[in-house]
Copies of this chain bind each other. A is one copy, B any other.
Amino acid sequence: MLKPFDDEYFMRKALEEAEKAFEKGEIPVGVVVVINDKIIARGHNLTEMLNDVTAHAEMQAITAAANFLGGKYLTNCTMYVTLEPCQMCAGALYWSQLSKLVFGASDPQRGYRANGVQLHPKTKVVSKVLEEEAGELLKRFFIEKRNLN
Distance of A62 from chain B, by nearest CB (Å): 6
Q: How many residues of A contact B (CB 8 A)?
A: 29
Of the candidates B67, B90, B91, B94, the one whose C-beta lies within 8 Å of that of A51 is: B67
- Taking A87-B118, A116-B116 as contacts, is the C-beta distance between A92 and B51 under 8 angstroms? no
Do A63 and B72 touch (CB < 8 A)?
Answer: no
A41 within 8 A of B: no
Which segment of A9-17, A52-60, A139-147 sits at the interface? A52-60
A115 — which chain B residues lie within 8 A by C-beta? 116-118
User: Which partner residue on chain B sits nearest A64 by CB separation?
Assistant: B52
13 contacts between A and B (CB under 8 A): A48-B72, A51-B71, A52-B62, A52-B66, A52-B67, A53-B66, A53-B96, A54-B54, A87-B117, A88-B94, A91-B91, A91-B117, A115-B116
Is A47 positioned at the interface, with any CB of B under 8 Å from its CB? yes
Mark out the residues of chain A between 102 and 145 whose CB falls within 8 Å of any chain B CB in the assembled complex: 115-118
Are the C-beta atoms of B63 and A52 separated by less than 8 Å? yes
A94–B94 Cα distance when bound, in Å, is 18
Which of A51, A73, A92: most chain B CB closer than 10 A? A92
